[in-house]
Every structure is written in structure tokens, then in C-alpha cells.
Amino acid sequence: MALVIRAILLLPFSSSFGGSKQQNDIVLIRNRSLSLNDNTGVRNDKFLEVPQIVWGLNNQKIAFARSCLTARMLNRTLLIPSLSASLFYKEVNLLKPISFDKVFQFERFNSHCRGFVQLGKYSDLSNRTGVFELQKGSGRRWTMERDLEQLKESMENPIDEYEVIRIVGKNPFLWHDHWPVKDYAKVFECLVLVDEIMAEADKVVSKIREIGIQEQRVRSNDPANDVTNSMLFPYVAVHMRIEKDWMIHCKNRERKMNITQICSSKEEIMERVSNIFGLKIPTVVYLAVADELLEGSSILFGWRENLLPFEKKKLGVDGIYKKYPYLIQSAIDYEVCLRADVFVGNSFSTFSGLIVLERTQKMLRSGFEGSCEGERDLRWPSYAYNLEGDAKGPRRWMTNMSDSSLRAISYGSKDVSC
């Protein structure tokens, strides 16, 4: 009956303006919203609200990007979301919400992403048409097709009439993925850490490079030798995933996926890093690791002579990290790894995956157009230590920017495009 009534109501409109053309226009609008290839802008009088974003820093960044792209598909401004300062994602009372603009620059995000996605504040609401609560499905029965159909329905009246569509559901990170890597990359490029966090990352990077200079002077037996500008002295960053929570997770994943390329022991990581072709030695190796989840301090022992391992305590920067909650600590480490001359991570780690994505973007912006095969002196090289590459070293790693979804990064993969 509803369909019949709707058809009758639309008949005069269709007759006056050409029913088939109107239908084609609707299809074009939908396709345009899904492809996200235009820059026509985003409505600032209609909004999307999402639940508090949870889990680790990079899972939160992916959830945030999905929220932005969902808002763009619905042609709405995303209300500034709440992130989670802590890693405790199961105990709701321990989530410790933190506002987006305490971690990332709000105005700079909107400036960088203008015309693509947009963030708004709750003070922007007029509260004239109320809120429509959109229940996001979960579980195996909630398929990608059903999720996409729900979003399409939300683009039309009567749902679209509401000033605010409020997403109701568990963990936006679990939402289905409908967007290509390049669209996620565009959102990530707009995320700039606040000045305070960037300044802390500067201190850590400076300390790493200074240690390298000191070591070079000692080995040259000339304390006054100005080897090079300390701010340019190279270092290697290793996202060393051997914490107890990770080892439990990766072993479960290996059993479920029936593969043996997720977990890596300390010894395997050290061996593969030492076999990276063309690695300048001696070199400082910064070990990015979650200290509170690490069992023992043996990660500093067993490295080859010319590889000088440092973590936060040995580097003398643990005081910087202790001032902040887990989310900010992770953001500092992310920036330190991103700036490294060589980065080595685990291909099943979201943290590592997003760093490689950004480093791949840097390479592309610098004019690089080739593949990772045979490129030995490439800037910003990245490697996956859980996968064996040439000469028993780690496998070269670049993000496939033409992928149709972010699934490989979101859920981990051994596909490193190299």
C-alpha cells in the first residue's frame, strides 16, 4: 500500500519533468556519493553523530575515517566525535573519553579536507527537526549488502529530513567497509596531531638522532668530529610486536587462518632486521613497544654489534610518555616511526599498516612511480618482519593505493604488494 501511495504521489512530478530522467538522476546521485570522486562540498545544516570511538589509536583512526566517509556518503557534516584515551575497550567505565580536538587539530582538519569531508561542533545544531537514531547491525547476519542498503535508505526522506542522524550500535570499527584506500588516505592526510603532541615527538626523534651522532663520534675516535647534522642522522624504527596481548591474539589468528606468518619471536625480528640490504651501520634502532604490556626487558639484548637498540627507558624519554594516557603515547610513537629513515613492522598490525600507508603516500608525492622490486635506494622504505624477503631479511612493504577497500589494513594481511 505504501508503494502504491508513493507512486500516485510521485506521478504528477514524474509526468511534468520526465519520470525516466528523474530516476536516472537519482541513480547518478547515489553513484556519485559512493564513488566519492567529486568535490561539490558537504552540507553544513545536516549532521551525523557516531558513538564513542574505541580500541587502539589506529583502530580509532580507521573508525573515525569510516565515520567521515559515511557522513560524506549521506552528504552530512560529522559531529566532532569522542575518542578513547585508554586501551580498555571492554570495560565501558574505563574508556576515559577524550575529545577529538585534544588529539588532532580541528580547524586544520576542516581546512585540509574542505570539500571532501567536514567536522562540525554540537554548538552548530539548531535542534529544529530532532534526531533520527539509526541502529547499525552487527554479527554474521549483518552483511555488507545490508549495511550499504541501510545507508542508501538514509539518504532519502523521511530519514534525510532529520537534522541529525545518530548512529546507534557497537564499535564503529566493526562497520562494513565501502570505500577505496585512496579515500581513507585522503582523510588520514587531514589528521594532524595537536602542537603539544608534535613537540613531544620532536623531542624523541631528536634524542634518537643525537644518540646516533654520539655513537659515530665514539667509533671514529674523534669526540669533536661533526659527522653530520644530527637532525639528519638516520635511524631505524621497529614496531616490535611481542607484547603478551599481541602474542595471544596472533597465535589465535594463526590457528583460525591456518598460517604461520603472523607471530614473530624476538630472535626472528632481530635476525631479519640485521639482514636488510644496504642498511647503514652503525645505526640506532628504536623499538616501538607497549612497555606496560611487555614481559621482561630482554628486547635490548642479542642484537648484532652495529645495530644499537633503544627503547623509551634506555633512550631516557620514558618521562615524556608517562605524562600522557595510552592514546597519546601511541600517537607519539606513531610519529616517531613515521619519520624514521627505515621502518619495520608487522603486516597484521593496524599500527604498522597505517604507518606504511602514509610512507607510501610520501613516496608517491615525491614522484616515485615504480614498484618495490629492485628499488634499493628508495626513500622511506618499509618492511614486514613477519614475512621473509630477500637474503633472509624482512619483505619490502608498500600499500596498494588502488585497493577497493581498506580490509587488508583493517584486519591484517600478508599481502604487502611486494
Give residue-wise pLDDT tens across range 97-132.
999 999 999 999 999 999 999 999 999 999 878 899
What mean pLDDT is reported for the chain? 83
Per-residue pLDDT tens for 4-38? 454 444 443 333 333 333 333 323 332 333 444 44
Amino acid identity for residue 80 in this structure: I
Confidence at residue 25, expressed as pLDDT on a 0 to 100 scale: 33
Domains and CATH numbers, the chain: 43-177 (3.40.50.11340), 195-222+229-411 (3.40.50)
The confidence score (pLDDT) of residue 194 equals 98
Structure-block grid coordinates of residue 281: 651501520
Range of weakest confidence among 222-231, 234-243, 266-275: 222-231
Q: How many angstroms separate the CA atoms of 194 and 242, rounded?
A: 29
Burial of 61 (0-12, 13-18, 19+ CB in 10 A): buried
User: Nearest 5 degrees, angle CA 82-CA 36-CA 22?
Assistant: 120
H or E element at residue 28:
helix 19-35
Query: What is the Cα 28 distance to its own chain's centre?
Result: 31
- Selected residue with higher pLDDT from 222 and 351: 351
In angstroms, the CA 238 to CA 295 distance is: 18
DSSP symbols for 291-350: GGG--SSGGGSS--TTEEEE-HHHHT-HHHHHTS-HHHHHHHHHHHHHH-SEEEE-TT-H
